[in-house]
Structure 1
Amino acid sequence: MNGPINVYSEIGKLKTVLLHRPGKELENLMPDYLERLLFDDIPFLQDAQAEHDQFAKILTDNGVEVLYLEDLMAESLVSDEVKEAFIDEYLSEANIESDETVATIKEMLMAIEDKRELVDKTMAGMQVTELPEHDKNSLVDLMGNDYPFAIDPMPNLYFTRDNFATIGNGISLNHMYSETRNRETIYAKYIFDNHPRFKDQDIPRLYCRNEEHRIEGGDELVLSSKVLAVGISQRTDAKAIEKLARNIFKENMSFETVLAFDIGEYRKFMHLDTVFTMVDYDKFTIHPEIEGDLTVYSITKGEKDLVIKKEVDQLESILAKYLGVESVQLIRCGGGDVAAAAREQWNDGSNTLTIAPGEVVVYDRNVVTNELLEKAGLKLHKLRGSELVRGRGGPRCMSMPIYREDI
């Protein structure tokens, strides 16, 4: 291995991946606050964990090293000073108005000696009823409110794809679309700054969490060692893509082109990888609804700045040109059936995780799309997807490749 991170494709044999096993943060979801926390439903934690364990087993059975976000974060709290700095930063972004409440919670968190227990608690959030009685000297404290949480939970954490992205041998530590999810990126910051596996490894930082413009990992696809695809979506804006491209070109990595896919700002599409993923050298899954209005822009490095052009051609031809293949095959989610396409895209039929060329992990429930994938010659590992899918994310969303073999 050349370093701890190596991701120059979407399809190279997967060797190391980062997951987060759903925890008590899902039990802090409440119907009245689902929209605030970017959920449409409440998964049953016990079954969600069983499904996630099956996902991890599929990966390990196929030779993939599985790392867990919660373990890496605990191992990154290498000193009392780092622990306190983490807690201070975590609380500064927890949207707590009362200084007295911040001080009370900090004392509670600092008192947790077990590092993994501390990390789990920061992910789960904290209900107001968990706080001890303390002197209420501020107007904010005395007024109070009916909101049940002193600190919101982070139920989206099992979608490890989004808060940072591995590109080449670097990372894009993302600025997330919502305040709810932006706190998630604190964990990646501390892992890459302090964990023995990554610290002092000279890992390029291709985007920073404190940037002004939003970008999320579900919109960042590494199509080859020369080409990235990034979605302009509900969660990622064009300015962020330009900044990412400039930073990548400055690093003198092998990437020559960034293809920006304008998929529109729709909740049902959310990220590029919910409607488009690469499954083989010349095969992609795609949701047919985006094809008609899809606009693709190419971004390359010019003498003075970026060169940005609108690509005027069919998507298949654009992909074939930039990937250097004779042609590509688009496998349409749900086939030609409008209802099946809409239903299976909602249940992440287009969100596949490729673990080797032509070999993918999918939800078992998307039977129409799965049959089409098999007819196209792909090998499928089918994952039970009853509870995990309620968070609106599939196998790609739930995984962050750390190391892939080059192709």
Structure 2
Amino acid sequence: MTLIQEKILADRVRSDFPILHQEVNGKPLIYLDSAATSQKPLAVLDTLRNYYERDNANVHRGAHTLSVRATEAYESARDKVAKFVNAASRQEIVFTRNATEAINLVAYSWGLNHLKEGDEILLSVMEHHSNLVPWQIIAQKTGAAIKYVGLTDTEELDLGQFNSLLSDRTKLVAIVHVSNTLGCINPVEKIVSIAHKNGAKVLIDACQSVPHMPVDVQAIGCDWLVASGHKMCAPTGVGFLYGKQELLEEMPPFLGGGEMISEVFLDHFTCGELPHKFEAGTPAIGEAIALGAAVDYLTAIGMDKIHAYEEELTTYLFEKLEQIPNLRIYGPKPTKDGKTRAALVSFNVRGIHASDLSTLLDQEGIAIRSGHHCTQPLHRLFEASGSARVSLSFYNTREEIDVFIKVLKETIDFFNSVME
């Protein structure tokens, strides 16, 4: 993608995001925290508003016009998500509140019923807490053991160690597609292939990949994949689980109540068909419909174009950060083919706390993240309490990066002058 193409893309989409056109602390907002949550385009906001103004009714339960319209829009959103990740069937898409709930669904429904003492779960040290804690709970309940894949010298997943840790005891591999701290893109297709040859099931945390690059669940070959809507231009409170149909069919329901049933008697019940078996209670209807609108929006731009543009932005950001003295970047360097790093960079500056950096940058209208990013074990490995993180999206520009770098340098100079 050329510089001209980049500018056309950024200029075209920025007008779609009203939140970006404001001042914070008297400065134009520069939003560099999309890994935490993305901003929402007008198409999504209008869809959510339209549902509540025009079609607000419960789904699947009413014969009146509003309920029919709401149901059609809700199920249409499922079709859109299925197509977006290339699921083999719409029945393989289960709406959840977020990726965390989706992982817990698999943990409690599949994990509790398939794992036992002597079995092993294989995770990595870079996992988000949402892909650590549920498996720790399940391991405690079942007696299964957890093993962790470490990092290479370039701070990427150690595929050699992954191979050595796999055994006939490994029943599950749960791995992140893109690390929300290191920014590395893990070779999930290779991981799935190796794991399946050893008889293990594989769950992919795709929260940081689905919004930024084409993701094809059939090409990856995973058994489950999870993502959160709020990171992909949709509202909060909705996400999805992809699962192979044969696996979802055999898994018991995660929650009981309305909507997930076929029939209920005083002494037993029968489950509804997929995917409703896993969608107990009234769902986040408007949010799911708006997720469908977000998928339409991203598809119209083109995930390949988004990925290419963000690769250029990330490389530019990385090069600028590397020029700053005493600044430590976590994760691999970008490569020319763009296959090693996604659109986020975590870093620390020697002698300056990440939270202090974030606070002073905010005074200049620049929003970045500071903290452990829900990867405390990884930060302990680096002997760091936290880090600063800049995360980009297709609505960011080189000009914003230039302003950020300028203000970051000034902020570092300010701290250094105070400490002298």
Q: TM-score range by the shorter chain?
A: under 0.3
- Between Structure 1 and Structure 2, the one with more helix by share is 2
- Between Structure 1 and Structure 2, the one with more strand by share is 1
Please give the TM-score of this superposition, normalised by the length of structure 1.
0.26
